[in-house]
């Protein structure tokens, strides 16, 4: 995503950007852990978790950017 935009406190996107940043930190942590554990099942757990969280982060990005029809304001 391009540089984070600043949204007013009462704009839900103010909060979605915070959530997206938190998700990014967890994704990065899970991916690091893949390389730090030897158990293949644990590695799969961390990688799968990172992939699922990446999808959730994408939903937050789509909401912020109004990329999906569901997130666009009704006229």
Q: What is the pLDDT along the chain (75 residues), one digit of tens a residue?
A: 445 567 778 888 888 999 999 999 999 999 999 999 999 999 999 999 999 999 999 999 998 888 778 777 754
Residue 38 belongs to a domain: yes
Give the model's pLDDT for residue 44. 98
Give the model's pLDDT for residue 71. 75
Of 5, 7, 44, 1, the closest CA to residue 24 belongs to: 1
Residue 9 belongs to a domain: no
Give the model's pLDDT for residue 68. 78
pLDDT in tens, 42-51: 999 999 999 9
> Count of domains in the chain?
1
Domain that holds residue 51: 20-66
Find the angle CA(62)-CA(64)-CA(70) to the nearest 5 degrees. Answer: 55
């Amino acid at each position: 995503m391009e540089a984070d935009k600043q949204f007013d406190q009462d704009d839900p996107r103010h909060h979605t950007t915070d959530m997206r940043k938190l998700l990014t930190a967890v994704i990065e942590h899970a991916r690091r852990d893949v390389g730090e554990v030897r158990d293949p099942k644990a590695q799969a757990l961390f990688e799968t978790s990172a992939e699922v969280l990446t999808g959730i982060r994408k939903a937050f990005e789509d909401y912020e950017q109004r990329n999906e029809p569901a997130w666009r304001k009704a006229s």
